[in-house]
Structure 1
Amino acid sequence: MSMFEQLRSKHGAVAPVLLTGDLPAWLVLGYREILEVVRTPSRFSNDSRLWSELKEGRVPADSPLLPVVAWRPDCMSADGEEHRRLREAINESMGRFDRRGVRRYVTRFSNRLIDDFSGAGHADLISQFAQQLPMIVLTQLLGMPEEYGPRLVEAATELVKGSEKALESNAYIREVLGQLVARKHTAPGSDLASWLIDHRAGLDDDEILNHLWLVLIAANENTTSLMASVLRMVLTDQRFRASLAGGHMTLPDAVEQVLWDEPPTIVVPARWATDDTELDGNPIKAGDMLLLGVAAGNFDVEIRPDTDAAMYGNRSHLSFGGGPHECPGREIARAIADTAIDTLLMRLPDLELSVPESDLNWRSTTWTRHLVAIPVKFAPRRGTGAEPEPAEQTSQSAPRIPPSSQTAEDSGPRGVSLGAGPAPMSPEAESPVPSPSVPGPRTRRTWWASVKRWLRRG
């Protein structure tokens, strides 16, 4: 946070910055200023075709920024009536997923991954768990075979990093999704691709592909980072773990605390000024790019005077966006993170870091920051976490997420998520949607009950 604090002390809530290729942009650091940008699309559009640097030919064709910010025919790039048409399709199609069914998938695949390393007595919770699970679940939700997961994890990572492989990786992901859309026309199933094809909004194949791309990239990177941060906190912060174990905080509470303190996306690209305007006293020219400093906004002392205070139950952070483009998949992301970590801690209650916390390394990009590895140790166990396959649902009978968790708003920007506002300003803060319990074929103990049983045996 020191860089953001330095920028804020020098420039205030909005700071001029340079991106790769010396491309100028404005970094919005203030909580209220971020909300002003995301809630007024008439002034700050998601359509990158407005970008003056792009229109004037100063953005190279091979710029690693383009796969993230380039215009696409999806609800993220659209405003007005076109946005409403596309957003309705993605909201209603995602609303057909049963959150309990999603949690069953997460539990099942979590157990599979844990079985792979539980006998060894040691593991890396990033490469062997947090980096694999979200993509495995997403391939199921989108309608792909799960074996696509590992290669898609690699490609999505390179894309979000903005590496020299970003363009090649993006091409691969789009090729896979194009094949998926073509296949679902003739062999539909109970999945997002099939439901988008069948939606009354009449999306064409290019629109369907781009919405699948948006869901895949945004959900994978952000959920992986969220899981990594929650795991680090559980393993290293004794006050946090004691609070969690003592019943003062639930695992969903822990997820929300991390969304405040370590948002999966620290800087969100991007908005573009539709006309000359002003933000926090800065003259913003038509076509200027604005980046949203979510991590800085979550620590803005104007809305969070005590930055060390617990934020249990407060969903007004900026990690899932605000305004008409708020992330529609936030409940699925929460379900994946808290269900997976609960399953892990129940299976391995004696889990602990195998290196000092100071030896943990971080990977940072323009947009994200998360751990490279979380090496852990535990008593070796035989893999016994297999659960029955969930019953197949038909697209006609798939239960919907209750309408109260759906909004007429859009997913976080390309490959990332945004967030909401402080308690009096945020719809989520006013009526939080509780995460349902994890269903299963057998009675499950809480992970802390498993810890206590393990301690008694010792």
Structure 2
Amino acid sequence: MTDQPQNGTDAPRGCPVAHGGGDGLTRLYGPEAASDPHGIYARLRKEHGPVAPVLLEGDVPAWLVLGYRENRRVLDNPRQFSRDARIWRDWKEGRVENTSPLIPMLGWRPDCVSQDGEPHRRLRGAVTDNLQAVASRGIRRHVTHFANKQIDAFADKGSADLVMEYAEYLPMLVLTRVFGLAEGEGRQLAESSAQVLKGGEDALLHNDRIMQILGELAERKRAEPGSDFTTGLLEHHAGLDDDEILSHLRLVLIAAHTTTSNLLARVLQLVLTDATRLAGLVSGQLNISAVVEEVMWNTPPLAVLPGRFAATDLELGGHRLQEGDLLVLCLTAGNVDPEIRPDVGISVHGNQSHLAFSGGPHECPGQNIGQAIIETAVDVLLHRLPGLRLSVAPEELTSTASTWEARLDRLPVEFAV
């Protein structure tokens, strides 16, 4: 090592995290990460403080940002922590191949998420303008239609798995209508979007499948415009080129579906494992938005946000980072940081300063649409299925995590027919 670590926790120039080795570093993938991500986050915080050296899939080195304040600093300072993956040192120097399963999540694309400054403002403006237009056309009407259609498929059985039969596909069905896609493409797109976030050897294949479907969609909408998100991007005054159109369709589709489906499942889990909350929602005494807010604090739909890149040598959380280092932001750990939430059991009602929607210039522009989907989906479900209750003990519910998220495996319920 060429430098001495600070307090034994630093990883300066010459250490594995800086140069792609990695012996002894914690992996954010594999069996332990899939079964106990919260345990890993807690251990890393204890060993390294608010920022920890870790390995991503393929033993790619990164810094995991665990502290709430450190997450905010990274999110709010794009000049220090860029979103432009073209400065990622391990990629530039050939230690990360373009065929890596990390590329669909971390690689540069001609979209607003991959850029900063004026290019970001131009592209983000096109996205936000069209998301607002979509929201104004009655998003809750689409959710109600597809929620009822999903429920119709199991309403006569008296039982269902609300993950696989409801939350997993409902947001994508709504998005097919928003994008101007055929409804029949929704299930395939939902499955491919989930695989992109899970990573593994199939991630690139599923990413290519999504791009093919969206490329065909853009061609159709050029020939036959409609009142949908795709046509809005094609006709926006920002003048997006073909690659920018396709990249933003992919970005919004994957981000909106995967986060909303995960959040919907978690909201239903919280409601169905707490009789008081369930009774309050059914009676109208409790607002669903309060439940959504609680879940966003304690179980944000994206556990780890990819990624930022150090734009210069700097210090963060007691560690020295080098220009081009990769950072991934642990929103889950940041939200329960004992420095800002010493007692996680205290109510967070009315406190919207969680990290679930990211923050800074790249804060999620579609959060109102996602919340509208969840609130409507829960409302329709509770009013369609009298006597809805969990059919297993709450402790039997399990989750499986990838680097980026932890998804509920199943949510079996019973109800009156």
Give the TM-score taking structure 1 as reference length. Answer: 0.81
Letter in 1 for 2:239: G
The corresponding residue for 2:30 is none
Q: 1:148 aligns with which of 185, 204, 207?
A: 185
Residue of structure 2 equivalent to 1:34: 71
Pick which of 349-358 and 225-234 moved more.
349-358
Partner Cα distance (1:193, 1:99) in 2: 15
Residue 2 of structure 1 and its aligned partner are, at CA, apart by 2.5
Does structure 1 residue 107 correspond to structure 2 residue 144? yes
Residue 319 (structure 1) aligns with: 356
Q: Conserved in 2, the CA contact under 8 Å of 1:361 and 1:372? A: yes
Q: Which residue of 2 is the match for residue 281 of structure 1?
A: 318
Separation in structure 2 between the aligned mates of residue 277 and residue 248 of structure 1, nearest angstrom: 50
One-letter code of the match for 2:144? T
The code of the aligned residue for 1:361 comes to: T
SS in 2 for 1:300: coil
Aligned equivalents of 2:200, 2:103: Cα separation in 1: 12
Aligned residue in 1 for 2:306 = 269
How far residue 354 of structure 1 moved from its aligned partner, in angstroms, is: 1.7
Residue 240 of structure 1 corresponds to 277
Find the aligned partners of 1:96 and 1:176 in 2 and give their Cα distance.
23
Give secondary structure in 1 for the equivalent of 2:413: strand
Q: By how many angstroms is 1:238 displaced?
A: 3.1
Provide the residue aligned with 1:351 in structure 2: 388
The aligned amino acid for 1:121 is G
Q: Distance in 2 between matches of 1:254 and 1:239?
A: 12
- Tell me which of 11, 14, 19 is aligned to 2:51: 14
Q: Say if 1:227 and 1:99 are closer, same or farther in 2 by CA, change over 3 A.
A: farther
Q: Is the 8 A contact 1:230 1:255 kept in 2?
A: yes
1:427 matched residue in structure 2: none
Report the counterpart of residue 301 of structure 1 in structure 2: 338
Q: Which amino acid aligns with 2:125?
A: E
Shift of 1:163: 2.5
Gap runs ≥5 in structure 2: 1-37
Provide, for residues 133-177 of structure 1, a one-character-per-residue CA deviation record: whole Å limited to 9, x for no partner: 000001111111111101111111111100321111000000000
Aligned counterparts of 1:328 and 1:226: Cα–Cα separation in 2:
16
Aligned partner of 1:428 in structure 2 is none
Query: Equivalent residue for 2:367?
Result: 330
Aligned to 1:178: 215
Residue 62 of structure 1, CA deviation: 2.5
Cα distance in 1 between the residues matched to 2:381 and 2:160 = 12
State the Cα deviation string for residues 218-270 of structure 1 (Å, max 9, x = none): 01110011011011111112343355457663111101110011100111110
Please state how far the C-alpha of 1:98 moved relative to its aligned partner: 3.3
Alignment: residue pair count: 380
Whether 1:213 aligns to 2:250 is: yes
Higher mean C-alpha deviation, range 57-66 or range 126-135: 57-66
The residue type equivalent to 1:162 in the other structure is G
After superposition, residues 43-442 of structure 1 pair within 5 angstroms as: 43-99=80-136, 101-242=138-279, 244=281, 249-380=286-417
Match of residue 409 from structure 1: none
Relative distance call for 1:2 and 1:248 in structure 2 (3 A) is farther
Q: Per-residue deviation at 1:301?
A: 2.1
CA distance in 2, matches of 1:187, 1:263: 38
Residues in 1 aligned to 2:333 and 2:264: alpha-carbon distance in whole angstroms: 20
Q: Which deviations, in whole Å up to 9, do the C-alpha atoms of 1:96-143 show, x marking residues without a partner?
A: 123570001101110111111101111111111001100000111111
Summarize deviations over 1:409-433 as a string: whole Å, max 9, x none. xxxxxxxxxxxxxxxxxxxxxxxxx
Give deviations 1:11-64, integer Å, cap 9, x for gaps: 111111111121111000111110100110001011111111101111133211
TM superposition shift of 1:300: 1.2
Separation of aligned partners in 2, 1:179 and 1:285:
42
Distance in 1 separating the partners of 2:390 and 2:328 = 35
Q: Please name the residue that 2:18 is paired with.
A: none
Give the Å deviation of 1:305: 2.7
| Cα gap change, 1:131 to 1:29, in 2 (>3 Å) | same
Conserved 8 A contact 1:99-1:332 = no
**8 A contact 1:354–1:375 mirrored in 2:** yes
Structure-2 separation of matches of 1:9 and 1:192: 45
8 Å contact kept, 2:135–2:369: no
Q: Secondary structure at the match of 2:113?
A: coil
Output the amino acid matched with 2:113.
Answer: M
1:363 to partner: Cα distance: 1.7
Q: Once the two structures are superposed, what CA deviation does each residue of 1:391-446 show, in whole Å capped at 9, x if it has no partner?
A: xxxxxxxxxxxxxxxxxxxxxxxxxxxxxxxxxxxxxxxxxxxxxxxxxxxxxxxx
The question of whether the paired residues in 2 share the 8 Å contact of 1:99 and 1:335 is answered with no
2:29 is matched with which residue?
A: none
Q: Is the 8 A contact 1:271 1:289 kept in 2?
A: yes
Contact 2:282 2:382 in 1 (8 A): no
Displaced runs of 4 or more, over 6 A: none
CA distance in 2 between counterparts of 1:117 and 1:127 reads 11
